[in-house]
Chains A and B, each alone.
Chain A
């Protein structure tokens, strides 16, 4: 069936460094959503991208949807401790989820 591959599984960064997670599909996606799950918490909706080539920003977070609507990325500039958690992408009508990227801030 349709799948969304999300990479990397983990990313360790120093506070202040940037972070990026990628979602890739072999098929065209109707839209893509991004969620954040803090440790011990539940997923919280961040944003939805619908249009080809769409770019949206939320403060230090930049979300992109590829021109072919087969991939998406989330980029965080200058990470802070509050960014720690797992970031998930979710695609298509019945929300096929990526496996998530865990952002870890090095002490």
Chain B
């Protein structure tokens, strides 16, 4: 089944403790991206990747890192999480560009205490 898999689904952590949210897609998509969703703000793009070893900042990249060492995986790293990073995070992928149909993961609800 074609899908985008995110883990974990829920995560509670404390300020400053490094964490990684994993994202994997099995559709051989070139484009992958991370979004955060906050009430009343819709989805805001954090980082995106057009292909392996190619990443770029989105609208709200501060405090986040990403890597794209393999085509299928696009982890989101929070080196030193802060409470303002408490949010719902979505990974998404599309065949070639962000201008095409996006497939989303199920989301990760992160709480930073």
Contacts and interface: CB of A to CB of B under 8 A. Distances in A.
B55 to A, nearest CB: 13
A22 interface: no
Chain B's interface: helix, strand, loop or mixed, by majority?
loop
Interface residues of A, number: 23
A43 B44 contact: no
- Size range of the interface on B? 20 to 34
Chain A's interface: helix, strand, loop or mixed, by majority?
loop
B42 A99 contact: yes
A93 B99 contact: yes
A95 B98 contact: yes
A97 B44 contact: yes
6 pairs of A and B residues whose beta carbons are closest in the complex? A99-B42, A42-B104, A97-B42, A97-B43, A45-B101, A95-B98
Interface of A: 1, 6, 9, 30-31, 33, 35, 41-45, 48, 88, 90, 92-95, 97-100
Interface of B: 33, 35, 40-45, 48, 58-59, 90, 92, 97-107
Given A41-B106, A43-B102, A97-B43, 7 more contacts: A31-B99, A42-B90, A42-B105, A43-B90, A43-B92, A44-B104, A95-B102
